[in-house]
């Protein structure tokens, strides 16, 4: 069976580092973002250009990955939407922007077909465990999704479900058969560290 990872949201930092780490570990990698050049795809690396602001785009990216590379063993959800909020008055913001951000950050990942991946990894960027001025929308999405993952991890832990710095930890998570703590905080060059 081929090792396949699907990365939703591949930017120039965490997304690229994660894709490189999985490729170095022998995975075929499907990278999805608005800026991907599909013509650069190879037998090992599939590039999918997609605006992931709708759940349907995630379903389409999954279907294309499955068709070209095979069913993903690992899904890394590194996507995000963020409309800046006023650090002094975070509740004074446009409801439409808030709703749109929350839908992408929290609801869109639910569009993945059930039971297709043993490992689902979500990038929290610390906002699932702390607050940051001006990042209300993004933080709420991270917390809600972290809560969902914690609930799923506890529900599935007895069933054997388990997935540059981010990429290295993500590969370790993907290759570990045991269920680790739901919140994988880490320090570069040290690995997992509970804060």
* CATH (domain of 159): 3.40.50.720
Q: Which residues span the domain enclosing 177?
A: 4-192
- Per residue in 83-104, pLDDT tens? 888 888 888 888 898 888 887 7
- As a whole number of angstroms, the distance between CA 126 and CA 14 comes to 13
Instruction: Say what the pLDDT of residue 110 is.
Output: 63
Contacts of 157 (CB under 8 A, 6+ apart): 179
Which contiguous run of DSSP H or E holds residue 4?
strand 4-8
In the three-class reduction of DSSP (H, G, I as helix; E, B as strand; rest coil), residue 50 is classed as coil
Q: What is the rounded CA–CA span in Å between residue 85 and residue 59? A: 30
Give the model's pLDDT for residue 65.
94
> What stretches in the chain show pLDDT beneath 50?
160-163
pLDDT score of 43: 93
pLDDT of residue 49: 96
Q: Nearest Cα to 77, choosing from 23, 147, 9, 4?
A: 9
Q: Given this model, what pLDDT does residue 162 score? A: 30
Nearest to 145, CA basis, from 92, 182, 189, 187: 182
pLDDT of 159: 54
Structural domain total, the chain: 1
Residues 121-134: pLDDT tens digits?
Answer: 777 778 777 888 88
């Amino acid at each position: 069976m081929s090792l396949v990872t699907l990365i939703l949201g591949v930017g120039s930092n965490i997304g690229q580092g994660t894709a490189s780490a999985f490729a170095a570990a022998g995975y075929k990698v499907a990278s999805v973002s608005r800026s991907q050049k599909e013509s650069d795809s190879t037998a090992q690396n599939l590039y999918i250009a997609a605006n992931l602001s709708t759940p349907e785009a995630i379903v389409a990216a999954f279907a294309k990955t499955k068709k070209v590379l095979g069913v993903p063993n690992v899904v890394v959800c590194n996507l995000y939407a963020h409309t800046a909020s006023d650090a002094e008055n975070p509740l004074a913001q446009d409801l439409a922007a808030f709703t749109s951000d929350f839908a992408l950050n929290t609801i869109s990942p639910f569009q993945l077909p059930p039971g297709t991946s043993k490992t689902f990894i979500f990038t929290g960027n610390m906002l699932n465990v702390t607050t940051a001025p001006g990042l209300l929308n993004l933080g709420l999405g991270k917390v809600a999704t972290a809560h969902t993952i914690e609930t799923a991890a506890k529900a599935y832990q007895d069933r054997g479900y388990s997935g540059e710095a981010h990429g290295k930890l993500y590969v370790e998570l993907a290759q570990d058969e045991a269920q680790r703590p739901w919140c994988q905080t880490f320090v570069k060059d040290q690995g997992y560290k509970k804060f």
